[in-house]
Chains A and B, each alone.
Chain A
């Protein structure tokens, strides 16, 4: 992970400039007067927030995304519903044909 000295210097210079501007703005007593005041506007945070809410703009239905949607959303819902139906139908049939004695009822400990 060896960055050249020039890269490190360039990065440090950028950071120092931003830091200097930040301290200047944070300690600027006239920010209130202009009507802005409050939390200093950070463009990086704004870009991040806007990215988070506009992710759908870059969504494309491909094979991978379609399989993900089917496998993680559609299949669990339909599969779980089907399993519940099958289980309950078997229990219902047992009840209606009298196969479950009172001593083996479901909630006999409460």
Chain B
């Protein structure tokens, strides 16, 4: 108990430094969405600067999404760089996400992780080339199929030979 109290007292000097990263040594009520969600779209220049500071960006590189009904409040528009496209040899704080602590996160970040979409890298074959390759192969299959559909292959056989073709052997009238 005394050890806990002592260590908590020593932590009081941390509060100054922790204001830089927003960490807190002791959590009382947890983190609520209402405290951390993006605010309304910033209209005045003061609001823009305050929002830029909140997200850790410079005011000249802060740009919110337009408020057209699909906007995200004052959340900034960040460059979209897939995780796959980031330097694999740099010492990231979180190497499995290729991200540093405190780095602002782009809105579509969850779609562009290491195991998901990669839109930043240059494709080995462009999308047009991929489409042409697919269409070429499928066209070749379909052409071959439909050309050969009515050409049958079987052992060389004669037509079935019925005895006495010119005679009528039986008819199908009901027996009266």
Binding site for B on A (CB under 8 A): 7, 10-11, 14-15, 17-19, 21-22, 24-26, 30-31, 33-36, 40-55, 57-62, 64-65
Residues of B within 8 A of A14 (CB): 56
Binding site for A on B (CB under 8 A): 3-4, 7-8, 10-11, 17-18, 20-27, 31, 33, 35-38, 40-41, 55-56, 58, 67-73, 75, 93, 100-105, 107, 109-110
Would A34 and B7 count as touching, CB distance under 8 A? yes
8 inter-chain pairs at a CB distance below 8 angstroms, sorted by A residue, are A18-B102, A25-B18, A31-B25, A44-B56, A44-B101, A50-B36, A54-B37, A60-B69
Would A30 and B102 count as touching, CB distance under 8 A? no
| Nearest-neighbor residue (CB-CB) of A35 within chain B | B26
Query: Could you say which of B25, B35, B56, B109 contacts A34, with CB atoms under 8 Å apart?
Result: B25
| Nearest-neighbor residue (CB-CB) of A28 within chain B | B14
- Given A19-B100, A34-B25: A65 touches B36 (CB 8 Å cut-off): no
- Given A31-B25, A34-B25, A65-B70: A57 touches B101 (CB 8 Å cut-off): no
